Structure 1
Amino acid sequence: MTIQKFIKYTPLDITGKSLNSTQELTLNILEQSGNYLLHKDLLRHSSLKRQGTVSTKTRSEVRGGGRKPWQQKGTGRARAGSNRSPLWKGGGVIFGPKPKIVSFKLNKKERRLALQTLLYNKKNNIVIIENLEDGVTEFKTKNFLTICKNCQIDTNQKILLVVSKKTAALKAATQNIKNVELVLASNLNTFSLLKAKQIILTPLSINDIKETYCD
């Protein structure tokens, strides 16, 4: 059973001053705990990151081993048919890993519900800054740190910066700050949201979130 929740925010400008407008976000969340959905979505996200290219050779794939090392009887040693047996050094691997595709299916509605539930749980950690995409015009880290200081954002904690478009100046200004992750609103995911202690949104990114993830 899902219910609607409304969150209202007062945006800030890049100088940290409150504006006279409000931004509202309507989220559909589960009436009871949605932790199981978050867990399933994190499993899906982690499985997509796996390459699945690890591979070992079986005894039939290891080079050599065509000749019987010694005769079957009379030597006093154990029987051996190939020096590429898994029991020998340099031999094949028994039940070793092979390339495979690991996938974890989750319905689109479940993914959206998990993301909206996490956004609602993090509602107290969200700050909205007006015109951040075009407000950063210089390729300087110092300028973005000044904006964070004006808006009382702690750069010692994990920060998720969600924007509608990645400008060259914004990417250059944030790439040298280890605790800042810059993502597009259309690529927002529960893994990044869960790690973040502070979330910075813009009015344009809120519109993208509404169009992409909210009904």
Structure 2
Amino acid sequence: MPNISVLNMDGKSVEEIELNKEIFDIEINEHAVYLVVKNILANKRQGTHSAKTRAEVRGGGRKPWRQKGTGRARQGSIRSPQWRGGGVVFAKKPRDYSYTTPKKVRRLALKSVLTSKAQENEIIVLDDFKLEEAKTKNFKKVLDNVNANRKALVVIADNDENIKRASRNMENVKTTMAQNINVYDILKYNSFVVTKDALKVIEEVFN
């Protein structure tokens, strides 16, 4: 894998480093990526949907008309599913959609999407990312300097309140710590902006 330039906050190259081949240069496994993204989206579901069955709908205790002799179809309750205002046949109830995928599959998927980002030249490495003030315009200026002004995932090594607060108002930007990156976020955002320190954490945690 060719070396990648490390940029400062002004967008100028200060050095070159080689990305870890065990993470950024593997054979991409699309099925593993699919499984993990599906899992992440399922875990995000609230599962608070609820509808009433015919037993839970108010009213309908009396038989609307006698069984025979009216010429109409037999009916037992005006709250049967075929009636307007009746219950739902297979009513949805609150449930937990979350489940887990094997750790090996999650690791493989993460390495696959990082490899994809590297191949598409969408990884931007910063030598450091520090803001003296938590101002959005200062944060945006850094992203513009490094040509990451589209949807960007900014990965930092430590919990930096100035950076997190400065990026909070930016619609297409998300800031996260290196140990918390996931497949869905990496795919969702075009640019993967990572500091050198965060890159070391990724190599330590996910190698």
- TM band (smaller chain): 0.7 to 0.9
CA deviation map 1:25-73 (0-9, x unaligned): 3425796541111111111111111122212111111122222222223
Q: CA offset at residue 209 of structure 1?
A: 0.8
Amino acid at match of 1:125: E
- Aligned counterparts of 1:43 and 1:163: Cα–Cα separation in 2: 26
Tell me, yes or no, if structure 1 residue 166 matches structure 2 residue 163. no
Corresponding residue to 2:187 among 184, 194, 198: 194
Which residue in 2 is equivalent to 1:131? 128
- Aligned counterparts of 1:68 and 1:211: Cα–Cα separation in 2: 70
* TM-score (ref. length: structure 2): 0.87
Tell me if structure 1 keeps the 8 A contact 2:25–2:115: no
Amino acid at match of 1:126: I
- Report the secondary structure of 1:112's partner residue: helix
Corresponding residue to 1:92 among 84, 87, 96: 87
- Aligned counterparts of 1:44 and 1:113: Cα–Cα separation in 2: 14
CA deviation map 1:127-174 (0-9, x unaligned): 111221xx21212122122222332x141x211111122322112221
Corresponding residue to 1:185 among 169, 178, 187: 178
Amino acid at match of 1:94: V
Tell me if structure 2 keeps the 8 A contact 1:25–1:210: yes
Amino acid at match of 2:182: N
- Aligned counterparts of 2:11 and 2:191: Cα–Cα separation in 1: 16
Tell me if structure 2 keeps the 8 A contact 1:7–1:26: no
Tell me if structure 2 keeps the 8 A contact 1:59–1:85: yes
Q: Percent identity?
A: 39
* TM-score (ref. length: structure 1): 0.85
Which residue in 1 is equivalent to 2:66? 71
Note the aligned Cα RMSD (angstroms): 2.2
Tell me if structure 2 keeps the 8 A contact 1:7–1:25: no
CA deviation map 1:57-105 (0-9, x unaligned): 1111112222222222333332222111112111111123222332454
- Aligned counterparts of 2:28 and 2:164: Cα–Cα separation in 1: 36
Q: Can you give the 5+ residue segments of structure 1 that lack an aligned partner in the other structure?
A: 1-5
Tell me, yes or no, if structure 1 residue 210 matches structure 2 residue 200. no
Within-5 A mapping of 1:133-148 = 135-148=130-143
Tell me, yes or no, if structure 1 residue 118 matches structure 2 residue 113. yes
Q: Can you give the 5+ residue segments of structure 2 that lack an aligned partner in the other structure?
A: none
The aligned length equals 205
- Report the secondary structure of 1:143's partner residue: helix
Amino acid at match of 1:45: I
Within-5 A mapping of 1:50-65 = 50-65=45-60
